Chain A
Amino acid sequence: MKQTILLGALLVALIGLVALPWFAPYFYIFIVTEILIMGLFAASFNLVFGYTGMLSFGHAAFFGVGCYATAMTLLHLKWPFLYCLVLSVGAGALLALVIGFFSVRLNEVYFAMLTLAFGMMVFSVAHHWRSVTNGSDGIAGFTLGDFGLGLDLTLGNPAVYYHVVLVFVVVAAAVLYLIGRSSFGMILQAIRQNPERVAFCGLNVRSYRLAAFTLGGAFAGLAGGLMAPFLRVASPEMLHWSTSAEPVLMSILGGTGYFLGPFVGSAMFILLETWITSITQAWMLFLGIVLALMVMFFRRGLLGTFLDWWLERK
């Protein structure tokens, strides 16, 4: 019964998202586009954190490298958008494989610090390697051409681009969700709860952690690729450690225990930011208050707290 209600609610939300451009002002099309992309970024992080139990502080590296990959191929090679995104996924995965190779052998705070250190290195490269990355100005001035696959889409139209983002995010989220529900996903959750017992069951915990980290990097790369045309720029800020904090905050706001938690967190984060900055410049103060309240009283996040309560109820 409750399963059916949840599925129904999800379906209604999806229909609402598809129909959004027909009833919402342009401003909210931009906002929801950003929520979707950042939600995917946060969900890719949550595979690493919420599922596997590794608190990464360098996840922006994969998001940023995905963004640069799409921006640079659009600028220099003028590839169809779809191929740019495939490249972004590959770039995110490859960078995560390299950083993960060194990081996943460490635990807890050491893992967090090492991912942070790698993230800062990647930021620094993008910031200082002017001849390739254009330094702090970033990669701009690229235009979207074809989508690819012979599809005739006017990607420059924000409503069309919104729908493209929606399709990519929904499909990517479905894939991530199914991975989480697979036997492999079960092992990842077992590793979060008790890595030692998993090792004594005969599995190389390090390889599974690396696989999760690389997958997280691939999906973060996709989110970055989708972000480039939206922002019309790939800048070093996207690689900054403060950007790595965003999926952490979003996951905690929405809740790490349910798959859609990071998406809900992304919506909370971006809507609060939008509404509060229109009233006062001190939005970080309010975010801090909300975050502190969540961590002190609703540790399972907004979605997690609600679903826990609702599913327990008779």
Chain B
Amino acid sequence: MSEPILSIQDLTKHFGGNAAVSGITLDVQPRETLAIIGPNGAGKTTFYNMVSGRMTPTRGKVLLDGRDITGLPPHRISRLGVSRSFQINNIFTEMTVRENVEVALAALHHHSRRWFNLASRDTVLQEEAQALLDRLSIGGLAERRAGVISYGDKRLLEIAVVLATRPRLVLLDEPTAGMTPDETRRVTGLVKSLADSGDYTFLITEHDMEVVFSLADRILVMHRGEALVVGTPEEVRRHPEVRRAYLGEEDEEQQEAGA
């Protein structure tokens, strides 16, 4: 087995007396797609928040390529090649779609330190942004204001911004939540092609089991902050506890997905 890109050791987060995440230990291999499932409140987003630097763990470690990144601020972790999306759309609503991507690219290429250029004439960034938007099939919206495009397109735009930072490890938080079946298919196809390109390692939290089983190499099932099972989709599907604790409640979960 190769060296894991991400190694989680006994990761724990307490809020007051409650453990939101409790003692998660897990290795993620380069280029694999790991889905994280579990009911709302299972601790998936808290887990993401600790890996991406939004929260400091109460206990435990996060290693990226063997390097301890526990408690580093988000911008440092982003620079090391970890990028994430959020459950609630997290874009620059007053900018155009393409400018959203340009912000991430300006950060990546250090154009953000240029005080005396004209951002509107920065053709290098604009072309790169346009190419990325085209790849995600929202290139036609480039000049639209990001706040007014459809919900599904906003989610795609956020993925574009996430990818613009050139991450190796991508954390997607419910990428298809609230999407139409057609949009869900688009996102699933997109993630699949990105995963197949071999450039990315994906962590995906998702309520839609069809999406999970079509994308995941392995699945982590979380329940009340703990890791219930980690295994291949087939192992997880057959696991009796998972069937009882989670899969049986699938419909209910989907209804809650928007929360």
Contact = CB atoms under 8 A, between A and B. Distances in A.
Interface of A: 178-179, 181-187, 189-190, 193-194, 196-205, 208
Looking at chain A's contact residues, the main secondary structure is helix
Interface residues on B, range: 35 or more
Contact of A205 (B75, B83, B111): B75
Given A182-B114, A183-B113, A201-B78, 8 more contacts: A183-B112, A183-B117, A194-B92, A197-B90, A197-B92, A198-B103, A201-B104, A208-B112
B103 A201 contact: yes
B108 interface: yes
A193 B74 contact: no
A197 B112 contact: no
B15 interface: no
A193 B91 CA distance: 8
Contact of B161 (A184, A197, A199): A197
B226 interface: no
Given A178-B116, A194-B91, A197-B90, A183 B106 contact: yes
Given A198-B103, A201-B78, A201-B161, A182 B90 contact: no
Contacts of A186: 99, 102-103, 106, 112, 119
Contacts, number: 96
Interface string B159-172: 00100110000000
B214 interface: no
Contacts of A201: 75, 78, 103-104, 107-108, 161, 164-165
A184 B115 CA distance: 5
B27 to A, nearest CB: 24
A187 B99 CA distance: 10
29 contacts: A179-B115, A182-B114, A182-B116, A182-B118, A183-B114, A183-B122, A183-B125, A184-B112, A184-B115, A185-B115, A185-B119, A186-B119, A190-B92, A193-B95, A196-B54, A196-B74, A197-B90, A197-B92, A198-B103, A198-B107, A199-B74, A200-B52, A200-B74, A201-B108, A202-B78, A202-B107, A202-B165, A203-B112, A204-B73
